[in-house]
Amino acid sequence: MQSDPQDRPSRAYVSVLDITFDEQEPAAGPAPQPPLLADEHLASARRRVTDLVTAALTELHPFSRQLTVTVTAPDNADLVAAAAWLERNPAAVASLRAHLGPAQSPPARPVAPDSDSEPGPVDRPGQPDQAELVGWLGFWLVTSTDPSGGTTERRVQPTTDPAELAVDLANWLQDALADAWISDPAPACPGHPHPLRPEVHDGAPWWACPAGGLVRPWHTATRTGPPTET
């Protein structure tokens, strides 16, 4: 503190470094939530997405070997939204089950020997087939990583028509190759320097010349019917 010969109020010089604050622990975020659905309820939807990713990567071989592609299940928020949509749209359940094959018959409800009631199905909300539908309605995250570590992401829905989803993934992967500075045309267009472009023709994925139309169907088959158990 500086003294004043005329006994006027003194002036104090305080550095901001002299001021201390009580450090508080940062507020803890919400604890990670357990998965909304067990893996077995997501298996058929995961298989649809991974099959189509594999088909697109195979069509772009050998350049697609430069990419590392992963498929991640929808997060809980997406699954909750999908489950809520199913609750609001019960009429859509029957058509969506076409993606999963025949619905499983629920077990009969037990009846006491002295009861006049008829046996009936057990009312169990969230049976496996219903839970699988939730996984099909959720948005799955597909991530591509190039050799430099650069990543690009695509959110896809398994209920999308398989040919359309395959073409969408192939378009996205072609862009990922270009972003990774892979200049070779993938796949090569006969007689032209540009690559072929994917498109849907008669319900199947084809390769087309941007300047000349359809060239050939994909060599890799894409499943269009209900998924089969493996």
> pLDDT tens digit string along 122-148?
333 333 367 788 889 889 999 999 999
Nearest to 209 by CA among 229, 227, 194, 226: 194
Interval 172-189 mean pLDDT: 91
51-64 pLDDT tens trace: 999 999 999 999 99
Cα(155)–Cα(189) distance, rounded to whole angstroms?
A: 28
Evaluate if pTM is beyond 0.75.
no
Q: Above 70 in pLDDT, residue 17? A: no
Token pair 């077990």 is found at 107
For residue 35, pLDDT beyond 90? no
Q: Is residue 140 within 8 Å of residue 49, measured between CB atoms?
A: yes
Q: Domain residues of the chain, as ranges?
A: 38-101+126-161+168-180
How far is Cα 154 from Cα 165, in angstroms, rounded to an integer?
Answer: 11
Identify the residue with better confidence: 93 or 169: 169
Answer yes or no: is pLDDT of 194 > 70: yes
What pLDDT, on the 0 to 100 scale, is given for residue 118? 43
pLDDT band, residue 8 (cuts 50/70/90): low
Q: Which residues have CB under 8 Å from 183's CB, separation 6+?
A: none
